[in-house]
Amino acid sequence: MGTWNRTPRFRTTTGLLLALGLACSAPARGQADSLSSLSRRFERYQQGALPEKLFLHLDRPLYLSGETMWFKVYAAEGTHARPLALSTVAYVEVLDKDQRAVLQGKVALRQASGHGSFTLPATLPSGAYTVRAYTSWMKNFGPDTFFHTDVTVVNTSQASGAAPAKDSTAFDARFFPEGGNLVRGMACRVGFKVTDSHGRGVAADGKLLQANGQVVATFKTQRFGMGSFEFTPDAGAPYTAVLTLPNKQVLRRALPAAYEQGYVLRLSSSPEQLSLAVSASSSQPETVYLLAHAGQKTAVAARATLSNGRATFTVPKSQLLPGITHFTLFDGAARPVCERLYFLPPPAQALVKAQADKSQYSAREKVSVQLAAAQPNQPETSLSMAVYRLDSLNSTPGPGIEHYLWLSADLKGRIENPGFYFSGSPEASEAADQLMLTQGWSRFRWEEVLARPAKPLPFLPELNGPVLQARLTQPATGKPCPGLTAYLSAPGPAVRLGNALSNAEGLVRFEMAAFPGSREVILQTNPAQDSTCRLAVLDPFAATFAARPLPAFGLSARFIGDYARRHLQAQLQTVYHGKAKSRPLPPAPDSLAFYGKPDASYLLDKYTRFQVLEEVLREYVPGVMVRKRKDGFHLQVYDNASRVAFNEAPLVLVDGVPMFNTNKVMALTPLKLKRLDVVTSRFMQGSEVFHGVVSFSTYRGDLEGVALDARALVAQYEGVQMQREFYAPRYDTPEASRSRLPDLRNLLYWNPNITLSGTAQRTLDFYTGDQAGRYLVVLQGLAANGQAGSRSFTLEVKPAL
């Protein structure tokens, strides 16, 4: 196993084999690989590299600095788009134009979904930003597999007198031979895409020139700056594409060089089937293999014999799953030589019916939206709904979940108007074919698929909560410290402790409870085992980024009035409703210690208060023996089973923190201790066996000034986001309706926790504010069977008389 390949196309047969590292040993080995062996090895790889996708429904596409961004996370598997309860944590970030994270958060996932929020800083500059989301497991496959969407932030405090943004547009054109290669004397289709600096498609006319200036092909873009043309290259002859843009600017781009030998793959489509024509430069008979897959499902595994360098595979579309299918061609030695992607839109099927009780409303009037499953036997469906005001600044809705899961998630880069490809029209089918030519890419490297034994993936899924990783190194050399036990604790009333053994790279992993908010953690090793290693907590957020240009952004002078209006609205909302803003919900208390219920527990206030801890233990804690030796105090715990004291020392804790120096513990003032728990039996945790547990708790749970070992690492650990409840005023009484407090909300409603199943119906109620205008209702959802869908409609709020 290994990382997915970010290379967009196969380029040449020779170059591909060298890139794969198979040029020497693969031919001999490949001769023995049959089609069934290829299929088995691919399926084995896919079983260990389960594709996972995330989709975020954001409450709206534009925000003011200081506002709250709300979102819901949907997790799905990559074959049928069914909800996937693999990961329990999603990492969500807001990135600026330089791909620096301005906000980061961990969101708890339960049963394949979760929700969270960010409060945008009031000082956040105006601009276009990227929101991305991923799991730890997804980091194995590169940042191009993460969820990305664009949002706009306007800082209205800085918008007054804004000038139009300078036009810094630059253009690019890229060319992609179908299947990956240009081969001398073999006709090939070439896809191309022309874009501006923000990744948007640009119209262009072009011609293909030989070195002597002769025109061998002409072409022009169609939708979204994409197009294709055919020509037959000569070996080694350079070809240059000359493109003319609408502004008369001319671009010149060199095509990839044609090779003397190789393979060309051509896909054509009819209503019922696909035809994949293979051409090879050699006329010798050869068996070639075609493997097609979508997610973890192998759709086609076929062989054909080249006759005069030609063969054709016919694939019924009924064999294909909805979404993107990868076709890979292997030569007789089972080496990948060509690849082509094909998109089959899923059947058009509504997910949810939604209708408001009226189309027009007055200010502060109740709105009732009736929801129902669109299909009679639809399984349980998870939904989220937002209602926000449409205006000149906030008019472009976000992506639909069905368009993302079935198309955008499996392609590299930004997809313009992904919903267009789902229309089923001939124009959409042609545009989808060009999209597959220009933005199709491999999600893995075939040498890793075919490798024996499989290479383990570095990032494990977080099955039971966040995983904290730390590295143990030698301070002088920086080399890893393997084979050491590290202890992680979080001081507090709830006693938490974990231990882990460092691997060959010096890494230790701790499964953390999905506690919300921030807390202090202490990482240390036992000085008796190690007294030199350095400890460092690793950042769980991804450090790599997809090459993804942001859309154009500029504060336009013609919107100055809109900026001023939104600024006033935001200020009034803060002044009059700031105290009612959504606050974090208190987390459920969890006071059970990691060792469970102790065998004996002592609330020290119920006993005679001694001035020395030794007297406390000797007088009324019979399960713990105190011994004095030359090096100081030693504790032993009686084994309940054998009624004999353990020879080995117990685990001693203060507020959940292991204390390896018993003399420090015995020097504690008993009056600062509230509780003492004793476990009088062996206790196993991780790779450690403890011979009893003696756990002291202080009144405040903050160690009460206990001096830690100088090498202990004290760090602030950020847990999952604290849940917030969306606040909106209700005008369900005459007094509330007559309130003179202005209600200038831009976001009327947000609900990430909506479920439907079977024939059940739900009614969602909310109230309009004081702003007249059109409001967009947006629903996103995912059913248990993988059916994804979105639904939107508008409401009108009439001006007050």
Dist. CA 154–CA 672, nearest whole Å: 52
This prediction has a pTM of: 0.90
Q: Is the pLDDT of residue 450 over 90?
A: no
Average of per-residue pLDDT across 347-375: 94
Of residues 713, 27, 65, the one with CA closest to residue 331? 27
Q: Do the beta carbons of residue 59 and residue 388 sit within 8 Å?
A: yes
Average of per-residue pLDDT across 467-474: 95
- The dihedral over CA atoms of 88, 94, 98, 99, expressed in degrees to the nearest 10, equals 10
Q: Do the beta carbons of residue 310 and residue 278 sit within 8 Å?
A: yes
**Domain boundaries, position 688:** 475-539+588-721
The contacts of residue 560 (CB under 8 Å, 6+ apart) are: 159, 160, 161, 162
Ramachandran area for residue 430 (φ above 0: left; ψ -120 to 50: alpha; else beta): alpha
Average of per-residue pLDDT across 418-426: 93
> Model confidence over 489-528: pLDDT tens digits?
988 877 888 999 999 999 999 998 777 888 899 999 998 8
Residue 514 maps to a domain: yes
Residue 374 maps to a domain: no
Give the pLDDT score at 587: 66
Tell me how long the chain is: 801
Dist. CA 542–CA 101, nearest whole Å: 10
Burial of 220 by CB count in 10 Å (0-12 exposed, 13-18 middle, 19+ buried)? middle
Q: What confidence tier does 787 reach under pLDDT thresholds 50, 70, 90? A: very high
**Angle value at C-alpha 596, between 594 and 598, nearest 5 degrees:** 120
Pairing of strands 651-654, 688-698: parallel
Q: What confidence tier does 577 reach under pLDDT thresholds 50, 70, 90? A: low
Q: Do the beta carbons of residue 189 and residue 219 sit within 8 Å?
A: no
More confident residue, 669 or 235: 669
Of residues 237, 106, 104, 259, the one with CA closest to residue 180? 259
| SS3 labels along 157-178 | CCCCCCCCCCCCCCEEEEEEEH
Average predicted confidence (pLDDT) for the chain: 88
Phi, psi angles (nearest 5°) of residue 437: -70, -35
Give the pLDDT score at 560: 74
Q: Is the pLDDT of residue 7 over 50?
A: no
Q: How far is CA 326 from CA 290, 339, 728, in A?
A: 10, 7, 47
> Model confidence over 524-568: pLDDT tens digits?
999 888 878 999 999 999 999 998 888 878 776 667 777 777 877
Residue 772 maps to a domain: no
- Residue 529, number of CB atoms within 10 A of its CB: 12
> Model confidence over 70-107: pLDDT tens digits?
999 999 999 999 999 999 999 999 999 999 999 999 99
Residue 505 maps to a domain: yes
Give the pLDDT score at 590: 63
Dist. CA 80–CA 785, nearest whole Å: 8
Dist. CA 265–CA 180, nearest whole Å: 8
Maximum separation of any 2 CA atoms in the chain, in Å:
103
> Model confidence over 154-201: pLDDT tens digits?
998 875 444 445 555 689 999 999 999 899 999 999 999 999 988 889
CA dihedral sign of residues 690, 692, 698, 699 = positive
Number of domains into which the chain is organized:
1
More confident residue, 36 or 726: 726
Two structure tokens written together for 310: 């030609």
Q: Do the beta carbons of residue 755 and residue 371 sit within 8 Å?
A: no
**Percentage of the chain lying above the pLDDT 90 cut:** 67
Q: Name residue 791's beta-bridge partners.
A: 779
Average of per-residue pLDDT across 210-237: 92
The position carrying tokens 């807001």 is 94
Give the pLDDT score at 32: 41
Q: Do the beta carbons of residue 791 and residue 350 sit within 8 Å?
A: yes
Residue 460 maps to a domain: no
Dist. CA 404–CA 388, nearest whole Å: 22
Q: Is the pLDDT of residue 453 over 80?
A: no
Two structure tokens written together for 638: 């009686």
Dist. CA 761–CA 765, nearest whole Å: 13
Dist. CA 756–CA 302, nearest whole Å: 42
| Amino acid (one-letter) located at 466 | P
Q: Is the pLDDT of residue 324 over 50?
A: yes
Residue 500 maps to a domain: yes
Q: Is the pLDDT of residue 619 over 50?
A: yes
Residue 603 maps to a domain: yes
**Percentage of the chain lying above the pLDDT 70 cut:** 91
Q: What confidence tier does 12 reach under pLDDT thresholds 50, 70, 90? A: very low
Average of per-residue pLDDT across 425-452: 83
Residue 424 maps to a domain: no
